[in-house]
Structure 1
Amino acid sequence: MLRPRIIPSLLIQDNGLVKTVNFKNPKYVGDPINAVKIFNEKAVDELAIFDIDATVKGLEPNYSLIERIANQSRMPLCYGGGVKTVDQAQRIFGLGIEKIALSSAALQNPRLITEIADRVGAQSVIVVLDVKKKLFGGYEVYTHNGKKSTGINPFQFIEQAQRSGAGEIIINSIDHDGMMKGYDKTLIDKAREKTTLPMTVLGGAGSLEDIRDIIDRHKIIGVAAGSLFVFKGVYKAVLINYPTKEDKDRLYHR
């Protein structure tokens, strides 16, 4: 039986694990390899890893780090950051990654979604949309760590991504990133209406109750979080954590 997926989201900068608030002020929180080892022990559903330097600096994906992470991981992995070509994607798949996340490259060239999907299968191609609220209503997609506006309507691009052969959509709220005050439910509701693809949501989780709210609303969905799974307590001490099997059963059966 299909179940919702609860997914830790890890941000990589300068080979270290960082956490942001509204995509700004990255704070170093540890070694990504160590985090992967801990998440292995906690039997997570899936792990999403995003290199936040690669696109901004025009870098190739860090294949060495990706290989080290994949070699340590015992869970499905999604990687995003710096992928601009089919050959780059195929090289990353060859290192043991199950899913490639495309963002700015897919926005600039939706044909890339089709080309990678044709080569490796649609189920392995994920389109990530980092979204901000517009001043006078509506939403807009941003790239380059939330610094570059695109003028693209996220809901229209979701439809285009599905037509182009994407296998999944990740919707990430820049406004809610790191705030730990709950997801943008309006954004998620609107996005869910536009696609029949698997969808994962990110940005804002501060408690398991926030995750439960999204599962209650949308049932079979991926619910990702960053701060919730690397911080603990009001002072945000760094502590890798994840719901126990019993916690997850309570989230699924309300």
Structure 2
Amino acid sequence: MSSPVVGRSLWSYLTMPLILAAVVIALVIAISTSDLDTIEERSLNLPTLLGATWRHVLLSVVSTIFVLLIAIPLGIMLTRSWTRSFRGLLLTVANIGQAIPTIGLIALMAVAFNYIGFTAAVIALVACAVLPVLRNTMVGIEHVDENVLEAGRGMGMSKSTVLRKLELPLAVPVILAGVRTALVINVGTATLAAYINAGGLGTIIVAGLTTNRLLITVTGATLTAVLALLIDYLAGIAEAKLRPKGL
């Protein structure tokens, strides 16, 4: 009786990776069977594509790590009563990253730090993606049932213990949803980092656009989409596995 359930569960886990693998295989076949000129050969060789993909992953992951280090502690702080007087100001500052057009923000970071490359791109990506994690952290904590918190206090728990053992664990599903959103935002936005020499799959797309080579452009765009879907898929699994039992 249990085998069909197990089979369906396994199939649900494998469906997305199989679809993405099929897309990549189809892309490889399209490239290998095309009559490439020297420009296309230079942009579509395996080392170039792997290097651009790895750089794109680094941009996305490093920026998301910094988002977590900034947004989660800040979100926790903004749920404390003593921060109410300046909560609106900090949220307004966090909103700036999403209000400014992304390409403009990336260029602004490069000018502000007098530096083009990986660091400037990471700073811009952090500014773009900090808001979802910040808001979800606040929403997750603020929507914990007050009766649960009162029960914890009644058992003699300190404020820090209530936060650590009750508020944060119960807010985990909402926080993880924000992290997942931030990851996907960073993967998509990281393509623009090519304009400040930070690398990534955006370099493939830009190379295709500037040389008017459709195959190069489609390859860069396809790999970016596959990477975004794969990261969203893995983040969804992590979200399900890290969710506290019973929620």
Q: Decide: shared fold, TM above 0.5.
A: no
TM-score class normalised by the smaller sequence: under 0.3
TM-score (norm. length: structure 2):
0.23
TM-score (norm. length: structure 1):
0.22
Higher relative contact order, structure no. (Cα contacts within 8 Å, ≥ 6 residues apart): 2
Q: Which has the larger radius of gyration?
A: 2
Greater fraction of residues in helix: 2
